[in-house]
Every structure is written in C-alpha cells, then in structure tokens.
Amino acid sequence: MSGVMLLLVQAVLYFGTMVALFRARGSLGIGVFVCALGVMHFLETYLAAVFFIELPFGLISPGSTVLFSGKLAMVLLLYIKEDAEAVRQPVYGLLIGNMLIVAMCVLLRFHDPVSLAGTRPDIGFIDQMGVLMVWGTLLLFLDSLVLVLLYERSAPWFGRNQTARIIFALAIVLSFDQFAFFAVLRLVAGVPLAALFGGWAAKMGAAIAFGLMLGAYLRHFEALGGAGERRRLADLFDLLTYRHRHANLLRQAAQDPVTGALAEAHLMALGGARHRRAQASGRPLGVVVLEVMPAPGSGAVRMRPLTEALALGLRADDLVFRRGPSGFALLLDGITPASAAHVAGRLREIVLERAEEQAPGRAAAGLRVHVGVAAGIGPREDFIEVLRQAEAGMRAQRHRDAGPRSGMVPSPA
C-alpha cells in the first residue's frame, strides 16, 4: 500500500473515531471527546519530531499530516456545534498540562535514578519533547483562534458552502502552523528542510480531506441550524461566557411535574437570555408554540409521553417548556425561518404519532395540534414580541382548522 493510501486510511480512522465520540456527546458527555483529543497530543508531537516518510513531494510526518491536522478539524467541529468556550477548554488544558510536564522534568533532574538492565532514563529526550509540546500547544491556541475567525470571516465569500469555508480556514491555518512549528523543530531536532515543503504539501491535502469529511458529517449527521450565517466578530468572544450564564438559568428551571418539560415560570428568563444571545451573535432564534386539543369525549391526552417525543425530535441545545394547560413552547437556537417551519411541521406529526401510540384508533382520531412559529428576529424585537408572533400564528391555524387532522403549519413570522 502506498504512503498516500496509508495516510488516507489513518485519516479516515482518526476522523471516524472522533466524530463517533462527538456524536455520542449527548449520552457520554463532551468530556470523552475532549479527552480523546488531548491524549493524542504527545504522539502527534513525537511523530512530528522523529517519524518521517518519503513521498514524491518531500518528507512528511503522519503526526503533523494526520493527527495535528485532524485535531484542528475537530476543534472547528467543536466550535461549529458547541461554542467558543468549548474550544477554549481543551486548548488551555493542554497548555497547562504541558507546562506542568516541563516543570516536573526540571525537578526530576535533582533525583539520582537507578540504572536498570544497563540503561538510564533519557531526560534530555523528555526536555526536547517538552519544549516541542509547549510550543505546539501555544501554536494550537493561536491556530484555534485564527481558525474560528477565518471560518466566520469567510461566510460572505463562500455563502452557504460550509465545506468550502472549512477547507479554506484549515488550509490557511495549517500553512501558518507548518512554518511556525518547523522553525523550532529544526532548531531542537535538526529536521531537514525537505520536511518543511513536503509537510506543507501534505497538510494542504489533509485540509481538503478533513474538510470534505467534516462537511459531509455536518450535512448528514448534525442539524445545521443556521450554518452559513455570519456571526459578528466583535461579539464572538462574548460567547465564551454565555454557556456559564445559561447553565445557571437552566439549573434554576425546575421541571413541570405533569409534563416533564421545563416549568413555564422560567420561559421568559431563559427565552430572554437566548434572545439576547441571538441578537449579539447575529444568529436567529426560533420560537415554536404548540397546543394539543383532544376531541370532546375522547379523554385527556397524557402529556409526559408527548414531552419525551418532542425532545427526541430536537437537538441537544433546544429547550421544551410547558405552555398553558395543554401546550408547549420550544426554543430553537441558531435556526433559519425555513428550518424552523420545517421542524414545527415535523413536531406536529410526532405529537400525532405518539398520541396514536397511547390509544390506537381513539386518542388521535379527533386530536387537533396547532402550531405557530416565529424566527429571524429583528434587532428591535424583544423575546415577548417574538413569543406573541408565534402565538398569533398558532391562533390563526386554530381558526383555520376545520378537521381533526387538517391544517398546515403557518409561515414563520
């Protein structure tokens, strides 16, 4: 098998494993993904320093071409689907951990180790690796920052072509990283110049390969929710503290005992927080209101199974609140008006299907589900106004609804 094919196999293995962990973040937690990302740091640095293969365009290291390039692709995935704070955490963790390694190595010099089988530990090698790992992590910090900025800045150039934005951002950052890391690598390890240009060519191939895989993954396995829309760079770093503020509000939002959804009393506080974030970041907030009205004499519909069904049809960050005696309000972060309307229609069908499962042929026969949508929030609107827009759409559908299962989802306000 040729060297290029081996690199592609390694890239697919790395990418497939990491996105599987990322995909499972709802059940395993994001920490598993971050730990797997960080544990590869020593191997990628070691390989970048000592392990090279020769290809027609020069010397390349799988540590740089596959592992480090793949790490940047995962950093970008983390930003796109989570936020900037999620990116900051592993980078800071790696930086602090590598500095701790250097400090520990300095203290180890004061020990007199015992020779085992005629060998002594090579502290000089650890020193060399420590320097490279700290420098590599400092570059990773800069790379991550520039990667996010380039991804956001390139939105007007590539429009909704998310894959092109990813490849462009990776190519620019990997070019900078190749020259910056090689300067120290040559000084510390004496790596020949053939590895500079060969490594750069290989990283450009990696940018294309990882960009195509990441674009396909986002398109087919993750809800895009407004992908391609530009966020204002001036407000980008405000996102670093958003999740802490929002998590505190979520912890305070007790569940409604009847439906299992978040309590209606906290809708305004959490909705207002998400609305302010939407205005600061330039991403729309979708609001969906939904009411379930059983036919006369058919008996009450059990609401808790409907809450569970709604939650399964949403993304991890979307929120479901109880709204009134037989309704729900949903907050969909970063979703376009067209996507919000599509989601609302899908949720209506989910409710009808779950009602049918509760009492086949009876409960859903006369059930009416009315839905209203508002998205694409303007700068002068507040959350109460957006909620009113969605509720107006729901009332309009209620008035138009002439049959037990008729009626279309209204256009978003």
**Is the domain of 280 the same as that of 153?**
no
Do 29 and 135 lie in a common domain? Answer: yes
Task: Tell whether the model's pLDDT for residue 229 goes beyond 70.
Answer: no
Whether 37 maps to a domain, the answer reads yes
Domain range for 316 is 256-400
Q: Does one domain contain both 218 and 264?
A: no
333 and 199 share a domain?
no
Using the predicted structure, report yes or no on whether residue 226 has a pLDDT greater than 70: no
41 lies in the same domain as 103 = yes
Could you tell me the end-to-end alpha-carbon distance of the chain, in angstroms, rounded to an integer? 57
Whether 376 maps to a domain, the answer reads yes
Which residue, of 222, 245, 267, is where some domain finishes? 222
pLDDT of 403 reads: 53
Domain closes at, from 200, 222, 244: 222
Can you give the pTM of this predicted structure?
0.55
Pick the residue with more confidence: 297 or 110? 110
DSSP states of 201-223: HHHHHHHHHHHHHHHHHHHHHS-
Whether residues 264 and 185 fall in one domain = no
**Residues 282, 168 share a domain:** no
Question: In terms of domains, do 200 and 283 share one?
Answer: no
Burial class (CB in 10 A: 0-12, 13-18, 19+), 107: exposed
Asked if residue 277 and residue 177 are part of one domain, the reply reads: no
* 193 and 315 assigned to the same domain: no
pLDDT bin (cut points 50, 70, 90) of residue 407 is very low
The set of residues, in sequence order, having a beta carbon less than 8 Å from that of 105 and lying 6+ positions away, is 123, 126, 127, 130
Q: What total number of domains does the chain contain?
A: 2
* pLDDT at 245 > cutoff 60: no
Residue 251 banded pLDDT, cuts 50, 70, 90: low
- Of 222, 248, 282, the residue at which a domain comes to its end is 222
The reported pLDDT for the residue numbered 230 is 41
Give pLDDT, residue 188. 81
Q: What is the average per-residue pLDDT within 350-372? A: 74
C-alpha distance from residue 348 to each of 97, 256, 403 (Å): 49, 21, 15
Contact status, residue 340 vs residue 412, Cβ threshold 8 Å: yes
pLDDT surpasses 60 at 244: no
Q: Are residues 98 and 29 in the same domain?
A: yes
Tell me if 216 is assigned to some domain. Answer: yes
What letter represents residue 326's amino acid?
Answer: S
Higher pLDDT, 353 or 238: 353
Same domain flag for 78 and 191: yes
